[in-house]
Amino acid sequence: MNAKPVEVIQLWTGPRSLSTSLMYSFAQRDDTEVLDEPLYAHYLRVSGAERPYRDELLTQMEPDGSKVVEAIFGPCKMKYRFCKQMAKFRTPCLTDDILKGKHVILIRDPLAILPSFDDVVPATLKDLQWSSLLSMYSDLESIGKSPPVIDASDLQKDPEGVLRALCAALGMDFQHAMLKWNAGPKPEDGMWAKWWYSSVHRSTEFSPLPLHPRKPFPKALYTLLEECRPIYKMLKRHALQPQAPEAPPLPVPSNKNIFAWVGDEIVPRDDAKVSVFDSIVQGGDGVWEGLRIYKGKVFKLGEHLDRLFDSAKAMAFTNLPSRDFVKRALFSTLIINGMFDNAHVRLTLTRGMKVTSGMSPAFNLYGCTLLVVAEWKPPVYDNNGGIRLITASTRRNSPNCLDSKIHHNNLINNILAKVEGNTAGVDDAIMLDCDGFVSETNATNIFMVKKGRVLTPSADYCLPGITRETVIELVKQENIAMIERRISLTEFHTADEVWTTGTMGELTPVIEIDGRRIGSSRRITSRIQAAYKALTDKEGEPIPCK
- 186 φ, ψ (degrees, to nearest 5): -125, 155
How much is the average pLDDT of 526-539? 96
Sign of CA dihedral 298, 478, 428, 436: positive
Q: What is the pLDDT of residue 483?
A: 97
Going by their DSSP bridges, the two strands 259-262 and 265-268 should be labelled as antiparallel
* Listed residue (128, 161, 151) closest to 209, CA to CA: 151
Is residue 514 scored above 80 in pLDDT? yes
Taking residue 39's Cβ as centre, other Cβ atoms within 10 Å add up to 26
Sign of CA dihedral 103, 109, 112, 116: positive
Q: What is the pLDDT of residue 117?
A: 67
Give the model's confidence band at 502: pLDDT under 50 very low, under 70 low, under 90 confident, else very high: very high
**Environment class of 55 (CB within 10 Å of its CB; exposed 0-12, middle 13-18, buried 19+):** exposed
Collect all residues with Cβ–Cβ distance below 8 Å to 305 and sequence separation of at least 6.
289, 323, 326, 327
Domain match, 226 and 300 both: no
**Helices marked H in 426-513 — which ranges?**
466-477, 489-493
Q: What is the pLDDT of residue 16?
A: 66
Q: Taking a C-beta distance cutoff of 8 angstroms, is the pair 235, 133 a contact?
A: yes
Assess if residue 428 is contained within a domain.
yes
CA distance 242 to 240: 6
Q: Taking a C-beta distance cutoff of 8 angstroms, is the pair 214, 32 a contact?
A: no
Collect all residues with Cβ–Cβ distance below 8 Å to 163 and sequence separation of at least 6.
25, 155, 174, 178, 179
Domain match, 478 and 391 both: yes
Is residue 415 scored above 90 in pLDDT? yes
Q: What is the pLDDT of residue 118?
A: 60
Assess if residue 55 is contained within a domain.
yes
Domain match, 99 and 142 both: yes
Q: In which element (H, E) is residue 114 found?
A: helix 110-120
Is residue 128 scored above 90 in pLDDT? no
* Listed residue (529, 310, 511) closest to 428, CA to CA: 511
Domain match, 371 and 393 both: no
Q: Taking a C-beta distance cutoff of 8 angstroms, is the pair 489, 448 a contact?
A: no
Here the CATH number for the domain that contains residue 514 is 3.20.10.10
How much is the average pLDDT of 397-422? 93
Sign of CA dihedral 486, 491, 492, 498: negative
Q: Pick the range with the lowest mean pLDDT from 232-246, 420-434, 502-516.
A: 232-246
Q: What is the pLDDT of residue 242?
A: 63
Q: What is the Cα 274 distance to its own chain's centre?
A: 10
How many separate domains does the chain show? 3
Assess if residue 89 is contained within a domain.
yes
Q: Taking a C-beta distance cutoff of 8 angstroms, is the pair 197, 147 a contact?
A: no
CA distance 99 to 95: 9
Domain match, 407 and 479 both: yes
Q: Taking a C-beta distance cutoff of 8 angstroms, is the pair 7, 81 a contact?
A: yes
Q: What is the pLDDT of residue 324?
A: 97
Assess if residue 244 is contained within a domain.
no
Q: What is the pLDDT of residue 29?
A: 97
Q: Which of 376, 400, 432 is the last residue of a domain?
A: 376
- 398 φ, ψ (degrees, to nearest 5): -90, 150
Assess if residue 246 is contained within a domain.
no
How much is the average pLDDT of 209-234? 86
In this predicted model, what pLDDT tens digit does every residue of 48-57 receive, in sequence order?
A: 988 889 999 9
Domain match, 103 and 232 both: yes
What's the farthest any 2 CA atoms get from each other in the chain? Answer: 101
Q: What is the pLDDT of residue 10?
A: 97
Here the CATH number for the domain that contains residue 144 is 3.40.50.300
CA distance 327 to 346: 13
In this predicted model, what pLDDT tens digit does every residue of 297-329 receive, in sequence order?
A: 999 999 999 999 999 999 999 999 999 999 999
Domain that holds residue 371: 253-376
DSSP assignment of 338-395? T--SSEEEEEEEE--BBSSSSS-GGGB-S--EEEEEEEE---SS-TTT-EEEEE-SSP
* Listed residue (128, 130, 31, 134) closest to 82, CA to CA: 31
Percent of the chain whose pLDDT exceeds 90 = 83
How much is the average pLDDT of 81-85? 96
Q: How many residues are recorded in the chain?
A: 546
Domain match, 23 and 165 both: yes
- Cα atoms in the 13 Å half-sphere on the side-chain side of 370: 22
Domain match, 179 and 127 both: yes
In this predicted model, what pLDDT tens digit does every residue of 436-465 receive, in sequence order?
A: 999 999 999 999 999 999 999 999 999 999
Q: In which element (H, E) is residue 424 found?
A: helix 412-424
Domain match, 326 and 219 both: no
Q: Which of 237, 271, 286 is the last residue of a domain?
A: 237
Q: What is the DSSP letter of 422?
A: H
- 429 φ, ψ (degrees, to nearest 5): -130, 135
Assess if residue 309 is contained within a domain.
yes
- The whole-chain average pLDDT of the chain stands at 93
Domain match, 24 and 149 both: yes
Is residue 362 scored above 90 in pLDDT? yes
* Listed residue (134, 90, 136, 130) closest to 114, CA to CA: 130
Q: What is the Cα 380 distance to its own chain's centre?
A: 23
CA distance 347 to 328: 12
Give the model's confidence band at 124: pLDDT under 50 very low, under 70 low, under 90 confident, else very high: confident
Give the model's confidence band at 121: pLDDT under 50 very low, under 70 low, under 90 confident, else very high: low
Assess if residue 281 is contained within a domain.
yes
As separate numbers, helices (DSSP H) first and strands (DSSP E) second, the chain gives 19, 21
Return the axis-axis angle of helices 301-314 and 323-337, rounded to nearest 10°: 130
3-state SS, one letter per residue, for 186-206: CCCCCCCHHHHCHHHHCCCCC
Give the model's confidence band at 134: pLDDT under 50 very low, under 70 low, under 90 confident, else very high: very high
First to last CA, the chain: 72
Is residue 351 scored above 90 in pLDDT? yes
Long-range CB contacts for residues 208-212, cutoff 8 Å, separation at least 24: 208/156, 208/157, 209/153, 209/156, 209/157
Give the model's confidence band at 17: pLDDT under 50 very low, under 70 low, under 90 confident, else very high: low
CA distance 120 to 9: 29
Q: What is the pLDDT of residue 196?
A: 84
Q: Is the pTM of this model over 0.95?
A: no
Assess if residue 365 is contained within a domain.
yes
Q: Which of 208, 237, 266 is the last residue of a domain?
A: 237
Domain match, 223 and 274 both: no
**Environment class of 254 (CB within 10 Å of its CB; exposed 0-12, middle 13-18, buried 19+):** exposed
* Listed residue (530, 520, 539) closest to 475, CA to CA: 530
DSSP assignment of 284-302? --EEEEEEEEETTEETTHH
Give the model's confidence band at 1: pLDDT under 50 very low, under 70 low, under 90 confident, else very high: very low
Is residue 293 scored above 80 in pLDDT? yes
Domain match, 83 and 64 both: yes
